[in-house]
Amino acid sequence: MSLISDFILPCARKIYTLILTLLSSLLLMAKNRKRPICEVAVMEHRTANAFGWAARDPSGVLSPFKFSRRATREHDVQIKVLYCGICHSDLHAVKNDWGISKYPLVPGHEIVGVVTRVGSKVRKVKVGDKVGVGCLVGSCRECDQCVNNLENYCPQLILTYNSIDTDGTITYGGYSNIMVADEHFIIRWPENLPPHVGAPLLCAGTTTYSALRYYGFDKPGLHIGVVGLGGLGHVAVKFAKAFGSKVTVISTSVGKKKEAIETIGADAFVVSHEPEEMQAATGSLDGIIDTVPAHHPIEPLLSLLKPHGKMVMVGAPTKPLELPVLSIIMGRRTVGGSMIGGLKETQEMIDFAAEHNVLPNVEVISMNDVNEAMERLEKGDVRYRFVIDIGNTLKQE
Ligand code: NAP
Ligand code: ZN
């Protein structure tokens, strides 16, 4: 035991380490000062302050909310959000319709923005690029689904909001000023696609495109029915037309008929509560995409299918629907489902939409009008997708 070995030497070692750390930090700062601005952005790893609107409980009312986004990791991209579409899933989520909502809940998975920072290993995009983020921000990247570009079916998928991220935090969506996501989950934005118009494609587009492709409804000359002319439905009509199908809309809203045919491009319109119209369409369809978000009978819809026809459910009602087994057996019909799309297919869809002019019909709103928009969406009063102008109207309080 001596004063030198027990006290003076350890203290000297600590002071020496401290001086070394300080010197290396000063060296790094000096180095960064000489780098271009975008490279300095790559080097910074601070948590970012974020601001958005969140629902606090199942009343679903959204109000301003401060939170933080994770520090930009080496494969991460940070985005300034410009626009975000309002999907009916956002409405289901804020109201806890599916019983899985975690509050505070910041919705939004039809996000278009501009890249403001990239991690050191990001190769897909650079600062200043326009990009999109859809419904997914993570998956295991190793399972059969992930290696086959079907991240949307990965058992460990992380949704853009209301999911638990790998660090245990809850994910927050695009009704906010900034987003951070791994580059794998970023969509490159086509130059000729206006961001406020294209935003809904990131969910409504990919969901309907993927369902049409997977079930073979993308062959020219088919007759496809689209049930429910809302956000998903009107985009389904446009993709089915782009694939060369004849398209019939099956709707509860007689008032949408003119627009469905003249503006959206459907060939025919059937009002589902008009027995004569339904009767006339019996056995005429090769496939149906059902986008209805509420409980509804599917027997009358199945009767519209030809033998061997397929009905694909993409709408997500909260209560189970009844399955009319005899109708399915007797016509050897298929009832299937489909959920959003993988990243490769989402990029393919957005490029296809830009090339073939598949453009959603949108009503752009300001952030302050989001609660009114939700009420209108619930009543079916939207032609056909609300898009929030986040970039110009989200003001930090
Ligand atoms: P939306 O814009 O509200 O459109 C739904 C349309 O369905 C309405 O415009 C209405 O069309 C019809 N409809 C509404 N209530 C109805 C009822 N009670 N009976 C019959 N028809 C009714 O909703 P959305 O954004 O398209 O979303 C639709 C559903 O898809 C939601 O449940 C959403 O959560 C789900 N979704 C699923 C996926 C997926 O991956 N599978 C992805 C996104 C969204 P008409 O006026 O023409 O009848
Ligand atoms: Zn959606």
Over residues 253-281, the mean pLDDT reads 97
* Ligand 1 atom, smallest distance to 233 CA: 26
Q: What does the domain layout of the chain look like in residue ranges? A: 43-203+360-393, 204-337
Which ligand gives the minimal distance to the CA of 207?
Answer: 1
Query: By percentage, how much of the chain surpasses pLDDT 90?
Result: 86
pLDDT score of 56 more than 80: yes
Pairing of strands 305-313, 285-290: parallel
Q: Is the CB of 213 under 6 A from ligand 1?
A: no
The residues, any chain, with a CB within 8 Å of residue 128's CB and separated by 6 or more, are 114, 115
CA distance 245 to 351: 20
In short, whether 125's Cβ falls inside 6 Å of ligand 1 is no
Indicate if ligand 1 lies below 6 Å from the C-beta of 228.
Answer: yes
CB neighbour class for 191 (10 Å; exposed up to 12, middle 13-18, buried from 19): exposed
Q: Residues lining ligand 2 (ion), CB within 5 A?
A: 87, 89, 203
Per-residue pLDDT for 257 more than 80? yes
Which ligand 1 atom is the nearest neighbour of the CA of 204?
43
Q: Of 164, 20, 28, 176, which Cα lies nearest the Cα of 106?
A: 176
Q: In 3-state terms, what secondary structure has residue 238?
A: helix
Atom of ligand 1 nearest to the CA of 377: 3
Q: Report the top-level CATH class of 204-337.
A: alpha beta
pLDDT digits (tens, 9 = 90+) for 181-224: 999 999 999 999 999 999 999 999 999 999 999 999 999 999 99
277-311 residue pLDDT tens: 999 999 999 999 999 999 999 999 999 999 999 99
pLDDT band at 40 (very low <50, low <70, confident <90, very high): very low
Class of CATH domain 43-203+360-393: alpha beta
225 vs 35, higher pLDDT: 225
Nearest 10 degrees: Cα torsion 102, 107, 112, 113: -70
pLDDT value of position 46: 60
Ligand 1 pocket test, pick from 95, 100, 226, 232 with the greatest ligand atom count within 8 Å of Cβ, gives 232
Closest ligand 1 atom, residue 295 Cα: 18
Q: Please, which pLDDT band fits residue 50 given cuts at 50, 70 and 90?
A: very high
Return the half-sphere exposure (C-beta side, CA atoms, 13 A cut-off) of residue 340. 27
Number of residues in the chain: 397
pLDDT (mean) for 329-339: 97
Q: Is the CB of 205 under 6 A from ligand 1?
A: no
CA 87 to ligand 2 centroid distance, Å: 4
**Angle 18-20-22 (CA atoms, 0-180°, nearest 5)?**
70
Residue 105 per-residue DSSP state: B
Atom of ligand 1 minimally distant from the CA of 249: 47
361 lines ligand 1 (CB under 6 A): no
Q: Are 80 and 131 in contact (CB under 8 A)?
A: no
pLDDT in tens, 129-186: 999 999 999 999 999 999 999 999 999 999 999 999 998 999 999 999 999 999 999 9
CA of 368 from ligand 2 middle (Å) equals: 21
